[in-house]
Amino acid sequence: MEKSMKKINVQLLLTGNELMSGEIVDSNSAMMAQELKSLGIEITKKTTIADDMDMLVEEIKSITNNADILIINGGLGPTVDDLTAQALAKACNTTIEQHPLALEHLQAWCKQRNATLNKPHLKQAMLPKSCQIIANRTGSAVGFQMMFNDCQIFCTPGVPHELKVILKEQIIPLLSTQIPEDMKVDVTRLQIFGLGESNLQKLIDENLSDWPETLELGFRAGLPLLEVKVTSRTAIACEQKDLWLTKLKALFGDHLISEVINQPLPLAEHVLTLLKAKKLKITTAESCTGGLIASLLTKNPGSSAAFEAAFITYSNKMKSNLLDVESKLIEQHGAVSQATVIAMAKGALKKTSADLVIAVSGVAGPTGGTPDKPIGTVWIAWGSIDNLRSECLCIPGNRTIFQHYVSAIGLDLIRRILIKSEQEPIYIVERRVNKNE
Amino acid sequence: MEKSMKKINVQLLLTGNELMSGEIVDSNSAMMAQELKSLGIEITKKTTIADDMDMLVEEIKSITNNADILIINGGLGPTVDDLTAQALAKACNTTIEQHPLALEHLQAWCKQRNATLNKPHLKQAMLPKSCQIIANRTGSAVGFQMMFNDCQIFCTPGVPHELKVILKEQIIPLLSTQIPEDMKVDVTRLQIFGLGESNLQKLIDENLSDWPETLELGFRAGLPLLEVKVTSRTAIACEQKDLWLTKLKALFGDHLISEVINQPLPLAEHVLTLLKAKKLKITTAESCTGGLIASLLTKNPGSSAAFEAAFITYSNKMKSNLLDVESKLIEQHGAVSQATVIAMAKGALKKTSADLVIAVSGVAGPTGGTPDKPIGTVWIAWGSIDNLRSECLCIPGNRTIFQHYVSAIGLDLIRRILIKSEQEPIYIVERRVNKNE
C-alpha cells in the first residue's frame, strides 16, 4: 500500500488486558494526542488489544504497513503479561537481547531505591536487537524505538506519569525535528458553561447560517464544560477565522469561559486567576458536595493566594458548631433551605474573613429525597457579605453528576460576579425551583 | 474470512474528533467492557477514529467482516460532526430515513423539557432503513441496531450516563438471551495497596514459583491501588482456583484491601464500610490535600453515617483560627511539622467529636520546597485521641500524584487501624523521612 506523503499517518497501538476488560480507563492516548497536537500532528487511528502475543504481532505488522509513525503504549513492565518487546521483535523478524543501556538504567534505578535488581527487573532489559533506548527518568522500564517497513516505531511505558515525562522530554523533541513546518493546523477552542449542546447548535444555525465551509466547527459536551472548536487547515480559512470567531464569541456572551489554543484550563483555575487578579479570597461551606469545590480549587498550583480555608459540614450539628448556623433555624426550615444555606455562607465568611463564598446544601442521593425536596434539589448561596445571593435548583442525574455539576455551578456563579456579568445564566433559568421563602 | 465459532468476536468502534484529539478521555469503552464481562464476553479489539465519513465507512466494512458483534459508540448527536447513522447506512449499502419511533421519542423528550423540536433534534431521527430502535430514556439520541454481513451492529450514544442506562436496560438483557451459558469466564480480583508492582511479582516468583499455568495471573498498577487478577477459563482451573487464591492472599497479608468479582470499590468506600460496621465517625484536617480526602469519602452514598464534618486549613492563620493550633507552635516548628499536624488532628477531633482523624500538612508543589523540606514532604497524623500516630513521608511525583497518593495513604492508615493490622505498611518503610523531633 502506498503511503500518503501529504498527511503524516500516526497510529497508536495500546496494549493491556486491563484496557480491554474495563478495569482501567485509558488516559494515555488523550495525553499523546495533546502532545502530538503541539507539533500539528493528528492521530489517524487508535487500536487497543489485550496482552496477546499473536494479536500484537498481527497488529504491529498491519499498522506498520500503513503508518508513518506507530506509538505502542504499554506492555513494558516486569510482569509476565508484558509482551511488547517480544511481540515487536517477532513482528519485525528479529530477536530480543539484553540491552546494555537498559541494564545500566535498571541498576541505577534499583540502587537509588535501595532495592535489589531482581529477575522481573531484568526482563525489562530484554529488548529487540538494534533498537534504540528512550530514557525514562521516572520509572524502571525504558522506552525504545526502531524502524520497520518504513515506519518509525516508539515503545512507551503504560504508567501515565512515566509516559508524560518520556513524551515531553524525549519523543516530542525528537519528532519536532522531523515534522515540516507547513503541516501545522490552527485550532481555537472556546469553553462554554451553561448552554446545552442542542441550544448551542440552534444558536449557531439561527444566527450564523452563513458559516463558511472552510472553517471546521466541532463540539464536545463535557461535564461540566462544553467546548466549541474552530479548525482552519488552509490559508484562506486562517484569514477568515478571526472575523467568524468574533461573531461566535458575541453569540455566547458570558457563557464563554475562555478561548484557548492548547489544553483548556479547568473552570476552578479560571476562577482562581480572576480572584488573584483582584486580590480576593474565597471560602466554601459544603454539605452535599462534601469538599469537592475546595478540592477543585486546591488542585491548582498557587491556590493558596486566593484560598485559605473551607468547611465541610455534613450534619446539622456541625453546621451549627462550625458555622454558627442556629439549630432552631435548621429545625424550622430544614438543612436544605434558603435560610440554612445563607447562614452557612455568612458563617464561613465570618470565620475565615474571606471576600467571597460558595455555600451548598442539597440532596445528592441516592437516598434522602422527599416529595417536597426530591433528589437533585440544592440550595446555593454565593457572593460577598454585602451581596449574598441564593437560588434553589434541581440537578437531575446520579450522585457523581450532581456533585460535579453543583460544584461547577458554584464556581461559575462566582466567575460571573468577578466578570460583573449581568446576564442571567441559562442553568438558573432552566433549573430554578420556586422555593423562595 | 471465516468467523471463529468458539469465542464470540466482539469489537468496539469509537468515533469522535474529541477522542482523537485528546480533548476527552474515553471512559465509555471501559464501561462497555465491564458490562459485557457480566455475560462472560471479552472485547477482542477496540478501534478509535475521528468523525470522518470515509474512515467510518471503511472501518465498519472491515470490522463487520471479522466480528460477530460490533458496538459503535458516539456520533449520534444533533451536531454536524455526528455521522454514525449516515456512515452505517453507506457501509451497509442502504439509505437513511426518518424513523417514526425516533421522531416520537424526540417529540416526547422536547415536550418534557418545554423545548421546541428544532432542526438539529430532527437530524437524530434520520436512521438507516430497516434498523431497530434501542430506547434511550435519559437522552435525546436513540440507539439503534441492525444486522450486516452476519454481524450484529449496535449504535450507542457517546454521552457516558446515557450509554450506561442503554447498556444496562437494553443491550445487555438482549445479548444475555443470545450468549451460551458455558462461555462464562471466572475472574477474581485482589486489590492491594502499599506494594509496588515489581515487589509483588518478586513475592510471587519467590513464594509461588509452582503457580499453575492454567490459572491466568494479571496485574495492573493504578493510582492508588494495585490489582492482581486471577482468571480461570477451564473446569480444571476453576477447581484449582480456591487453593491458589488462598496462598496468594496469605502472601499479601494486610496489603490486601479486598477480593472482588466485579467492579472493585474505591479505597474510601472500604474505609467507610469498616467505620459504619464499628459505628465510628471520621473527620479530616487537610492542608496540602485541600479537601480531597473528605471529597473521596463523601463521594460515596451514605457517607453521612460515618462522616459529619471536615476542615480545610490551607493558611497558618486558619490552622489557628479553625483548629486551635497555637500560632507560636507553627512559628517554632513550621506548618509542615509533627507538632503542627498533631495539633491539627487534635483540634479536628475536639471540634467534631469524631472518633478518628486524618490530618495532613505537606509541600504539594510545584513551588514551596526547601532543602530541609523538599516538594513531596508530608506530615501525616492519624488515629484516635488515645492513639494518635504520625509519620513524615516523602511522596515524589507531581502535585496531582502527591495529593492522590497522600489521600490514599491517609485512608489506608485508618483502614489498618480498623482491621487492627500489626504489619508496618511498606510505603511507610520505603517513604519514611527521619524527621522525628
pLDDT in tens, A317-365: 999 999 999 999 999 999 999 999 999 999 999 999 999 999 999 999 8
Q: Which three cell numbers stand for residue B399?
A: 502535585
Chain A environment of B34 (Cβ under 8 Å) = 21-22
Contact check, Cβ <8 Å, A400/B299: yes
CB contact under 8 A, A45 and B46: no
Residues B9, A135: Cα–Cα separation, whole Å: 38
pLDDT at position A5 is: 38
- pLDDT at residue A222 above 90? no
Separation CA B356–CA B250 (nearest Å): 28
Residues of A in Cβ contact (< 8 Å) with B400: 299
Type of residue numbered A113: R
Q: Is the dihedral of CA B95, B100, B101, B107 positive or negative?
A: positive
B240 class by beta-carbon count within 10 Å (0-12 exposed, 13-18 middle, 19+ buried): middle
User: Computed from CA positions of residues B11, B16, B21, B25, in that sequence, does the dihedral angle turn out positive or negative?
Assistant: negative
Question: Is the separation of the CB atoms in A244 and A230 below 8 Å?
Answer: yes
Chain A residues close to B364, C-beta within 8 Å: 301
**B31:A44 CB<8 A:** no
Which of B23, B273, B9, B27 minimizes the C-alpha distance to A219? Answer: B23
Contact indicator for A286, B284 with CB cutoff of 8 Å: no
C-alpha to C-alpha distance for B221 and B228, rounded to whole angstroms: 9
User: Mapping DSSP to helix (H, G, I), strand (E, B) and coil, where does residue B274 land?
Assistant: helix
Residue percentage of chain B with pLDDT more than 70 = 96
Percentage of residues of chain A with pLDDT beyond 90: 62
DSSP assignment string, B353-419: --SEEEEEEE--SSS---SSS-TTEEEEEEEETTEEEEEEEE--S-HHHHHHHHHHHHHHHHHHHHT
User: Per the CB < 8 Å rule, is A298 touching B308?
Assistant: no
Of A334-343, B220-229, B376-385, minimum mean pLDDT range: B220-229
Q: Is the CB of B30 less than 8 angstroms away from the CB of A44?
A: no
Kindly compute the dihedral angle of the four CA atoms of residues A43, A48, A51, A53, in this order, to the nearest 10 degrees: -70
Q: Mutation test of the interface with chain A: which of B51, B54, B79, B225, choosing the one with the most A Cβ atoms within 10 A?
A: B79
pLDDT at A180: 67
Q: Which of A189, A307, A397 sits opposite B314 (nearest CB)?
A: A307
Residue of B nearest to A218 (CA): B81
Residue A201 has its nearest CB partner, among B45, B78, B290, at B78
Contact A294 B298 (CB under 8 A): no
Interface test with B, best of A19, A47, A48, A407 (most B CBs within 10 A): A48
Within 8 A by CB and 6+ apart from B67, the residues are B9, B10, B11, B44, B151
Contact A219 B79 (CB under 8 A): yes
B177 versus B311: the higher-pLDDT residue is B311
Specify the pairing of strand A356-362 against strand A256-260: unpaired
Amino acid type, B62: S
What is the H or E stretch that residue B191 is in? strand B186-192
- Give every strand in the sheet of B132-134, ordered side by side: A132-134, A143-148, A151-156, A69-73, A10-15, A43-49, B43-49, B10-15, B69-73, B151-156, B143-148, B132-134
Q: Which of A312, A313, A400, A426 to mutate to test the interface with B (most CBs of B within 10 A)?
A: A312
User: Given an 8 Å threshold on Cβ–Cβ distance, is B309 in contact with A314?
Assistant: yes
CB A232 within 8 A of CB A244: no
Handedness of CA A154, A158, A160, A162 (dihedral sign): negative
* B425, three cell numbers: 505498611
Looking up cell 508484558 gives A82
Question: Do B252 and B190 touch, CB atoms closer than 8 A?
Answer: yes
Q: Are A289 and A336 in contact (CB under 8 A)?
A: no
- A186 neighbors A238 (Cβ within 8 angstroms): yes
Q: Which of A13, A20, A375 to mutate to test the interface with B (most CBs of B within 10 A)?
A: A20
**B11 Cβ contact list (under 8 Å, min separation 6):** B43, B44, B45, B46, B47, B63, B66, B67, B69, B70, B71
Number of A/B CB contacts below 8 angstroms equals 295
Chain B residues touching A229 at Cβ < 8 A = 17, 21, 23
The ipTM, to two decimals, is 0.71
Would the CB atoms of A351 and B22 count as touching at under 8 Å? no
- Which pLDDT belongs to residue A183? 60
Residues of A in contact with B302 (CB under 8 A): 367
For B314, which of A24, A205, A309 is closest by C-beta distance? A309
Bridge-based pairing of strands A143-148 and A132-134 is antiparallel
Predicted confidence (pLDDT) per residue in B324-334, tens digit: 999 999 999 99
| Contact yes or no for A198 and B301 at CB 8 A | no
Average pLDDT of chain B is 90
> A74 and A141 in contact (C-beta within 8 Å)?
no
Contacts of B81 in chain A (CB under 8 A): 217-219
Residues in A touching B67 (Cβ below 8 Å)? none
Q: How long, in residues, is chain A? A: 437
Question: How far off is chain B from A22, nearest CA to CA, in Å?
Answer: 4
Given a cut of 80, whether residue B13 has pLDDT beyond it is: yes
Average of pLDDT values for A245-271? 88
| Grid cell locating B70 | 460490533
- In terms of CA atoms, which chain A residue is nearest residue B10? A20
Query: With contact defined as beta carbons under 8 Å apart, do A88 and A153 qualify?
Result: yes
Q: What pLDDT is recorded for position B332?
A: 97
> What type of residue is B243?
L
At A280, the pLDDT band (50, 70, 90 cuts) reads very high
- List residues bridging with A284 in a β-sheet: A358
Contact residues, chain B, for A258 at CB < 8 Å: none
DSSP state, residue A168: I
pLDDT at A127 exceeding the cut of 50: yes
- Is B195's pLDDT higher than 90? no
Amino acid at B21: S
| Among chain B residues, CA nearest to A282 | B314
> Cβ A311–B315 below 8 Å, yes or no?
no
- Interatomic CA distance for residues B91 and B147, integer angstroms: 12
Q: Give the one of B121, B227, B352 whose C-beta lies nearest to A318's C-beta.
A: B352
The single-letter DSSP state of residue A78 is: S
- Bridge partners, residue A171, by sequence: none
pLDDT, mean of residues B246-270: 88
Instruction: Please identify which residue in the block is written with the cell numbers 450534619.
Output: A315
pLDDT in tens, B71-91: 999 999 888 889 999 999 999
